[in-house]
Amino acid sequence: MLTTRPLRTLAGALAVATLFTSSGTSANSIEQQLEALQYFQVIAHRGASGHAPEHTLPAWQLAHDMGADYLELDIQMTADGRLVVFHDETIDRTTNREGPLRDYTLAELQSLDAGSWFNQANPNHARSDFEGARVVTLDEVIDRFGTQTRYYIETKSAERDPTLEAELMDTLSERGLIEAGAVVIQSFSQESLREVESINPDVPLVQLVWYYPESEDSDTLIEWTGVTPGPGTITDADFETIREYAVGIGSNLNYQGDAVIDEAFVKQAQANDLRVHVYTINDIPAMEQLIDWGVDGIFTDFPDRLVRLTR
């Protein structure tokens, strides 16, 4: 059963922050955003990717129109050094070609069909205008939605592209997103987040973690990158290490149908001043459970469902 704890969303908090700043009280962009991050956020995972092809303009437009607080984007670099929004290391799953994304130039990627696969996989949500949807650059997303929209960006290929963080931060700065307090950076790579922090400390960072069993028959959970111990043995000191550079932690809820975190994990992280965002939750009962636990945000392919629950 859901608690009666009132939920305030990022949109409402930002309205308060705007009034607070315009009244003459000084508050820089990160202070405003940290204030906003105290409230529950609906994070549109690759856009409204349950309704439209992931990481395409139609998916983000739907998420924006549905009232998502953040558009979630994965950033990688092309063969010619352009920042594109794409999740997988290869283009096989979501385009009509194959191979590593980093082997393709921007022009080559943008000649591909990044939408028809969705219609085939999701006939109940198929639309003819999804056919031929393009791979897009980060700049194109910002061109469409501007600085009034907020972006939750994951650095995907930092170990393969050592200039990715610098290029990303240059773009975000030049386009006014950092000054506007309109971006959060997330990564599974602690090194990538620390690199972002060294470039500009005025961007909230979220450390992603993925918990799974140590072996097929084991009840012991471990974390994919080793950035923390398993949730059963994680300590305040482990959370404090993350808090040195990040404002939040993003975790999976389940692994192959079994829960890997619980309410105690959420409360322990929050007690160490970390926001807790959980991915990727699409069914309403799981959303309700996480809201009851008091999580600070949920990644979902169906932002419309989560918006209905929280507003």
DSSP string, 53-104: -TTSHHHHHHHHHHT-SEEEEEEEE-TTS-EEE--SSBSTTTSSS-SBGGGS
Q: What is the mean pLDDT of residues 6-28?
A: 42
pLDDT score for 168: 98
236-254 exposure pattern, b = at least 16 Cβ within 10 A, e = fewer: eebbebbbeebbbbbbbbe
Q: Say if residues 184 and 225 touch (Cβ distance below 8 Å).
A: no
Q: Which of 208, 248, 250 is nearest to 225 (CA)?
A: 208
Q: Would you say residue 14 has pLDDT above 90?
A: no
Backbone angles phi, psi at 237, to 5 degrees: -65, -35
Q: Would you say residue 158 has pLDDT above 90?
A: no
pLDDT score for 155: 98
Residue bearing the bigger pLDDT, 1 or 41: 41
Among 45, 51, 55, 277, the one annotated catalytic? 45
Annotated active-site residue 87? The verdict is yes
Query: In whole numbers, what is the pLDDT of the chain averaged over residues?
Result: 92
Q: Say if residues 66 and 47 touch (Cβ distance below 8 Å).
A: no
Q: Would you say residue 22 has pLDDT above 80?
A: no
- The predicted model scores a pTM of 0.92
Look up tokens 């079994």; give the residue: 258
Among 55, 64, 87, 277, the one annotated catalytic? 87
Residue bearing the bigger pLDDT, 32 or 260: 260
